[in-house]
Structure 1
Amino acid sequence: MFDNLSEKLQALFKRLRGHGTLTEANIQEALREVRLALLEADVHYKVVKEFIESVKEKALGQEVLQSLTPGQQLLKVVHQELVRLMGEGERRLNLSGSPASLMLVGLQGSGKTTTAAKLAKWLRAQGKTVGMVPADVYRPAAIEQLEQLGRMLNVPVYKPAQGEDPVSISVKSQNWAREKGLQVLVLDTAGRLHIDEPLMEELRKIKVAVAPKEVLLVVDAMTGQDAVQIAQSFNEK
């Protein structure tokens, strides 16, 4: 999705750079193509409308129209607005507590287990002692997958008892982490639909019992605008 959007925007601005000057008509045409590219990339129409209006307001200013390099100036405006739209500030993870629990949630097949391993590797690179918790007892071989990733990364993985439920696993792993002196615990929960009330209730119980410092929603990059509804549903639950 992002590759396709990037290719279309690059082709558009390559054409604009060929113009010695830009008129309002040129800019209007360019913004129509940007709008179409965003909609084809499954960006929500309200977001697209706000984005185009903001770019248009800045692009039709004298700074762009009278610039010696108007194509570059327009590209700069679009880039600045994309950065603003995606989020300008840096937000750091809350790693306070002993241990600081990070709870990964999301739909089935969104990549939570591999994300848990990547997150653990990144945290280790930041100098943190990390452990991982397999709280997915439903997907076949989910626990074994996390254990294998733990061995590859040399990251300890909590070993649940046979038949232990996800809430109990999450709670007992806290004491395990303290005994091992781990600073951060990454909880890999089972994938679930946000309309599956019993499984969403399970997440609520884990959250109450463990009080994670962060609840991180893992979403497939191809999800598109449905990601907004998924995020809202998980947040409300």
Structure 2
Amino acid sequence: MLDSVKLRARDINVYYDKEHALRHVSMDIPDRSVTAFIGPSGCGKSTFLRCLNRMNDTIDGARVTGQMLMDDEDVNDRAVDPVILRARVGMVFQKPNPFPKSIYDNVAYGPRIHGLATSRAELDDIVETSLRRAGLWDEVSDRLLHPGTSLSGGQQQRLVIARAIAVNPEVILMDEPCSALDPIATAKIEELIDDLRSNYCIIIVTHSMQQAARVSQQTAFFHLGHLVEYGPTENIFTTPRETRTQDYITGRFG
């Protein structure tokens, strides 16, 4: 049983100068659930992901048309402050990117700039809670003042996730979050995603169909800028409606 819809895309098109990169994408993304975007490289997965928190605004020549509604508010409305939007919609990138600060300051950064803590004790509590939620507290609690960059790759990615959830986001976007990690670190991130989905709307772009099958409840298959098929993950992988989906999943192309 899926929760309520968190995000509604209606006829989203993305242009990079004259290139029509994403074409007429419409979909409803449920809350408290993991939605996976799959498809070959360059098919529009990450482009669509960036529509959800207006990261395309930062790309010269990018233009987005259509409606992207979060809780029925259009995120592309010019009255929406992208800084506040990006606090509500956290982002985790392919390569772990901790700030060149201590583990503590990495997690405290967002709450500080958004005024979420009124005292050091409150900030300490936010940092500990976020690190616990990211499954990292037991590993770093005795070295919070060490640089975030001193951690292993998998720990750095969990630190970045802790940093994202420290500002109380509603949505977490993950763009290939495990592609730079070894299998053990990947398993920990997947376990974390499964834990976090009870509180967040999570969207993950992945090249790994096995990962999509393991972590998501809904899957969207993109190809050549089109959303080919979208539905419950089990259906997409066992009884896809579209031949192109079947061909991609069985390895005939991609």
Instruction: Look at both structures and tell me which one has the larger radius of gyration over its CA atoms.
Output: 1
TM-score by length of 2: 0.32
TM-score by length of 1: 0.33
The structure, 1 or 2, with the larger RCO (C-alpha pairs under 8 Å, 6+ apart) is: 2
Greater share of residues in helix:
1
